[in-house]
Amino acid sequence: MEWDAEVDVIIAGAGGGGLIAALTAAQAGLEVALFEKTEHLLGNTAASAGMIPACNTKFQHQLDIDDSVEKMTADILIKNHHESDPALVEALATVSGELVEWMNDSLQIKMSVVSEFKYPGHSALRMHAPPSRSGLELTKKLKRNVNALDNIYLLLQTSLQKLIQDDAGHVIGIQVASSEGTQYIKGRKVVIATNGFGGNKELVKQHIPEIADAAYFGYEANTGEGMEAGIQVGAATKSLTAYQGHAAINENTGLLVTWGTVMMGGFYINSLGERFANETQGYSEFAREVLKQPEQYGYIIYDERIHRNLLSIEDYKQIAEMEAFKTAETIEVLAEKIQVDVERLSFTFLDYRQQQNGQADAFGREFFDQNLEAPFYAIKVIPALFHTQGGLLINPHAQVLDTNEIIIPNVYAVGGSAVGVSGNHAYGYMSGNGLLAALGFGRIAGLHIVESLIEEKGGAI
């Protein structure tokens, strides 16, 4: 075969996972070709809140937060009912602290602990994020680091077509397509980082019919070609029924309403003005509950205290600037403004205020934080599919495995292209699982590639 170019590392997909893998390899002196099929570096990382769960970090130590790899691993496994591979979960928990500190210290992306509230399933404050609490800021700063290195070659509007193997079954390169035609790139290692298949309606209907009718809030370019390329060389897949849903997309602005509205003490009602499930079970599985309701939308009811505390989150700040919510001094007036039954919402509100922390209500909710006080807020929200959580089978080094669970030499998968740590269902998703699997396995893959190539070269890259 005639190759159009040859590099040390090929990375297909320039979302968060691909960028982290590229920077890790390039900092060690490797030549990296990074291919992105769209014209911008966006992806699900950019659309996220930029919050990375990490344990035992210096940022936690500064706040006297007690956390560990063992605690974080246990939390993830409990949330997904022990459906995911414990070795993958432990690998991510182990790398998480080093990842966040490396991003802060080496990449100059300022990180800090999100201390305003604790997301469902997390036993400790361990979310770390940049100042804006924005994935877009995270992506922009990762791109800045990529642009500063002359041994990363970034090509946009160039999509992965297939992996190329030699006669022994080793992956030795990829075929890509762009406006200039087909090219063949040779690489010593290949990383698939093209995310999942949430943007492929047929695959979603096939594997996750329960969420197929919801809006899609992920990146449209996530159409599953990375997974398909892996399957074509014999890779196994796992947990294709897993996904991250979300129950709180503001219909008017298309922005994500943080679940902090709930975790700080708010509650969720349907179009009839009634609560219908335990909001603190997790926003992923709550999306399915909303789809069961009349008209398949709802409102989050909260107050001024919660509103002010959430203004540090970029998406919510934009929502506030656009005044996408309704406010009122009484629940009755608020009900009129959002056009739900006044008596029903009044009864729902009074019943909710009678609940006490630690005592389960009729829906099983035990956490209520503080009583809501006037002025009250309501924001209309719809359920959505964010991204898929199943994909190519990998080991704790992010190496792709075949159907016999044997390593396919030289190929790695990270983020949505690979199986995640959310088990097999929506309930297994815990806040940050997606971003952690992307950035964490991106870091793991990059470090393993560096170590492998140094070993192959006898100590020198």
Please check whether residue 193 is in contact with residue 35, taking contact to mean a CB–CB distance below 8 angstroms: no
Burial of 292 (0-12, 13-18, 19+ CB in 10 A): exposed
- Nearby residues of 12 by Cβ (< 8 Å), 6 or more positions away: 18, 35, 160, 174, 176, 190, 191, 192, 193, 194, 226, 229
Please check whether residue 243 is in contact with residue 387, taking contact to mean a CB–CB distance below 8 angstroms: yes
**Peptide bond before residue 375 is cis, with ω within 30 degrees of 0:** yes
Residue ranges in the chain modelled with pLDDT below 50: none
The pLDDT value recorded for residue 456 is 77
The pLDDT value recorded for residue 460 is 61
SS3 content of the chain, % helix, strand, coil (to 5): 35, 25, 40
Please give the backbone phi and psi of residue 356, each rounded to the nearest 5 degrees, phi first.
-125, 145
The pLDDT value recorded for residue 457 is 65
Q: What is the pLDDT of residues 229-241, one digit of tens each?
A: 999 999 999 999 9
Packing angle between helix 342-353 and helix 331-338, nearest 10 degrees? 130
DSSP label of 124: S
- C-alpha dist (Å) from residue 224 to 33, 303, 322: 21, 41, 35
Please check whether residue 246 is in contact with residue 383, taking contact to mean a CB–CB distance below 8 angstroms: yes
Give the chain's domains with CATH numbers. Answer: 5-242+389-456 (3.50.50.60), 244-385 (3.90.700.10)
DSSP label of 418: B
The pLDDT value recorded for residue 459 is 67
In angstroms and rounded to an integer, the radius of gyration of the C-alpha atoms of the chain is 22
